[in-house]
Structure 1
């Protein structure tokens, strides 16, 4: 085994000499405590290593030992329902064994190697297997069947297989023979975190990721296999928005990465998630969730690795044929880790001190999302939803701009909306979704053929209201003609009744697509009937019936849409009858 010696220490960056036999991206054990590190630069016999643990107490002259493999994660039963740090070490296990902090040199422990799992063996002697084939099954949680697959790159004939029974993840379940060589098939496999797992084919995107959040599903939809950014300043609701998506989206598996967030905020996630019930099954939400916690006081290099750990786990479940939603909160903290390490490496800084490769690293991460045909013939997807925390809410800063260039949906959170208690505080003028056209057929087949037409009409009203408000601020609302004053009233109804959603209300926290469509139709009916009356010369004061407008605003809690439409029609029918009788006049 190759060994070098430490000659330089600068925080998480270590240099060692005598490293001629080492390779780029090789995982190494640094110092007497055997801290986990990774070779990130080689110059003749001197290697630069980023260390994923606290380097306090490390001294020059201590050994650096090679492992002969890149930084990898162990993939197998035991991932779901677990809470890991940035390099897949189980925090709950460490807490029981050690103190409240991760002790240096604890090693790359990951999955429980002693736990016995009930394994159903699906193969027998003589079967031919190729990479990705499912050869065994484990009921990992009450909701998810863990499909044990042949690791990528292996294929051959089964020469021996165990019977179904109880085994640990390291027990050999079968032997595979190919060209005179024999390979062991176990419940677990390892995979380098920085290398995307192979797939058979990338498929076109065409299915909605249903979230139950009206402003997202209808106005700025996310697609299964798509990418989205949620940028917003402090207090705008990034975390609660991601919690809502994690809780309510129709993904099979949730991977939540707390990347560089404050400890108290991550503690809230770790305490709340295990208590949450899956709304579709009533079972614990953790049964289909993986949490990766790397708080701001943890080693900065491990924060940089955390998003790669998360996406590799997501790819593993995608290979089984599951739809995975990955939440990264936040990629700004990850970029800050990148900047700190680049500074210690004395690399030339680019805009605002970030390394020049910031944009390409972000693109590489988001590129691992998609809808795929897997090696075993199944179909699966990874949807990446990354929160961005621009300083002072400035969307022109480098991380937001680099992210905006590569994501398909941009859900811009607005501090003015947040301070006005309008949540989710998604700004309808700054946000966009590039998946609307791709999902046109899906919406037509699964919701209503005219939904996107209705969406465009409502967005048009909101844009018109924004222009009119500039005039109102200067000279007041009274100078506007009645049809424009009606636009202001309908936009107010749309914002309060539809775009605003209460995450803590039983009826409003999640709204099915058919109900979202019906609510939009009610608002459209109100607008069309009111506009018809205004065009006939009926004064806006009569058209704007306070009770009806307030009932429409409150419909998200009452849910009696048919009665509401009847009420609207009856009122405007009576209004127009009065008009025909000459009750109203101009002047």
Structure 2
């Protein structure tokens, strides 16, 4: 088809929705709109007319201006140079755009995602020789993308055949030919270090596997109480000010994933500025190098075009799948999926589609499920296993978890970290509510904890949650009639629950010692709190007044022990536990002598 037949005209403009007359256009194809060359995507077809959603504001664009079909769907460039980059919602590099247009993105600007001028040191796969048969996902060679990440150059999906040639070791740009493959029809295909992939199409893999290893985040209430597996699906719902962004940033900073992709989707600019400024300064706790060497950021603030907000989630998950195919464990954080759903609602409203719950389109649940289902642990075609862990923040209006986005998300995901406004107001962070949160991965995680940390983890976790549930019931009684209505045993239950809440669950992201907690320290703190509770409960049954127990000096120190000793100072925590046991035993002997007298 010639270029003249691929050019059409704008018929109608309705915000980001533009109707064009363009013969031969296809659904999903990218289009350049108007004299400004705004990028858009075909979402509906009727004969020659197409409805396009544009990624930029259409202010000033008029009917009669040209529309040009580009011949491919919304795609991302996948190759060396992604790590450490900051992109907008349609994978335009913000640092390059800033050099061209300043602080604001000029409409119609087009910048390649990958730097064409940069040279990469390519090392070919020694197992590949002319005549070797290759298929999708096999490793052609490697590039050291950063000091932390080895970038494996893979045969792109859909390509297989015999190797004609592989480039020798040397420095190449991303467009240089590094291999030629002859397919079954005898045609030679040129392979570069990068390729494009449509963002709305999941990347293929050999087979899906069960997740078996927990994602360690260093946050006690997550790892110990509501674990998430690598390749799992999690959600962080909560009202404004409850700390969703901080929870996600802590996971991004401290999780033991190989690759971190943070997508700021429709959030306030000041929050994303904090991410963009702080992340490049952070050190990676696992390598000692800069965290950005294994981190990729997608920034689409609330004042950016609404349709690009909808695309940003797909851009992020596609890049996550690309690194998964190399055999890496990737964690992607989407902040927030509510803003993404609001973009769907606005576009569907302009299209005149029938709204359902709270104005959202009828396909909201299926779109959410389709995105979350792209997470998982898989067997790749050639590099072993890899995983994508997807964690989405949800911002229900007024903290109402029954609203459509939260309720549909809850039906899809496996781990639910519900944030509480009451806990946040009480300065209890992370404000994850242990009553309404849940995890479907406890049994699998228990096997890992038993093998790597301690076999009593599952027992301690269940006992702690049971004690917290009793605390919730007793607190309601106290609020009605006061603590005098409780027995000494019940009042000690409240004290034990407070010790768990303050000494284990509460964790400051700003504390230099406690911002990260290793699994060994997590278990040591939980087991210490339960040991104090058990020994105190035994003394209460012997008749020791609960007021005497509450006055013991080590209780306040037990609440602060988490900030006194780091994850490498487990011996000091065990020494403190020995002091506690000695003090309780002394009290027991003293009381026994008093009884005998």
Q: TM-score when scaled to structure 2?
A: 0.96
Match of 2:132 among 127, 130, 153: 127
**Counterparts of 2:284 and 2:11, CA distance in 1:** 52
**Counterparts of 1:370 and 1:513, CA distance in 2:** 23
- Match of 2:12? 8
Structural RMSD (CA): 1.3
Say yes or no: does 1:383 pair with 2:389. yes
Match of 1:33 among 32, 36, 45: 36
Q: Which runs of 5+ in 1 are unaligned?
A: none
- Match of 1:475? 481
Residue correspondence of structure 1 range 159-198 to structure 2 within 5 A: 159-179=164-184, 180-198=186-204
Residue correspondence of structure 1 range 405-420 to structure 2 within 5 A: 405-420=411-426
For residues 49 and 108 of structure 1, do their structure 2 counterparts lie closer, same or farther at Cα, with a shift above 3 Å needed? Answer: farther
- Match of 2:319? 313
- Match of 1:364? 370
Which has the larger displacement, 83-92 or 277-286?
277-286
**Counterparts of 2:107 and 2:35, CA distance in 1:** 11
Q: Is the 8 A contact 1:551 1:564 kept in 2?
A: no
Secondary structure in structure 2 of the residue aligned to 1:9? strand
Match of 1:577 among 589, 593, 597: 589
- Match of 1:349? 355
Say yes or no: does 1:75 pair with 2:78. yes
**Counterparts of 1:432 and 1:20, CA distance in 2:** 52
- Match of 2:117? 114
Count of paired positions: 584
Residue 124 of structure 1 deviates from its aligned partner by 3.2
- Match of 1:95? 98
Residue 20 of structure 1 deviates from its aligned partner by 4.0
**Counterparts of 1:108 and 1:142, CA distance in 2:** 26
Secondary structure in structure 2 of the residue aligned to 1:568? helix
Which has the larger displacement, 438-447 or 354-363?
438-447
Residue 583 of structure 1 deviates from its aligned partner by 4.6
**Counterparts of 1:580 and 1:549, CA distance in 2:** 22
For residues 108 and 195 of structure 1, do their structure 2 counterparts lie closer, same or farther at Cα, with a shift above 3 Å needed? Answer: farther
Residue 572 of structure 1 deviates from its aligned partner by 1.9
Residue 58 of structure 1 deviates from its aligned partner by 1.1
**Counterparts of 2:114 and 2:221, CA distance in 1:** 39
- Match of 1:272? 278
**Counterparts of 2:415 and 2:323, CA distance in 1:** 23
Secondary structure in structure 1 of the residue aligned to 2:460? helix
User: How big is each residue's C-alpha offset from its partner over 1:534-557, in whole Å with a ceiling of 9 and x where there is no partner?
Assistant: 111121122223312112111112
Residue correspondence of structure 1 range 146-295 to structure 2 within 5 A: 146-179=151-184, 180-295=186-301
Q: Is the 8 A contact 1:34 1:107 kept in 2?
A: no
**Counterparts of 1:31 and 1:378, CA distance in 2:** 47
Say yes or no: does 1:533 pair with 2:539. yes
Q: Is the 8 A contact 2:325 2:383 kept in 1?
A: no
Q: Is the 8 A contact 2:260 2:296 kept in 1?
A: yes
**Counterparts of 1:440 and 1:575, CA distance in 2:** 36
Q: Which runs of 5+ in 2 are unaligned?
A: 566-571
Match of 1:450 among 448, 456, 462: 456
**Counterparts of 2:593 and 2:75, CA distance in 1:** 81
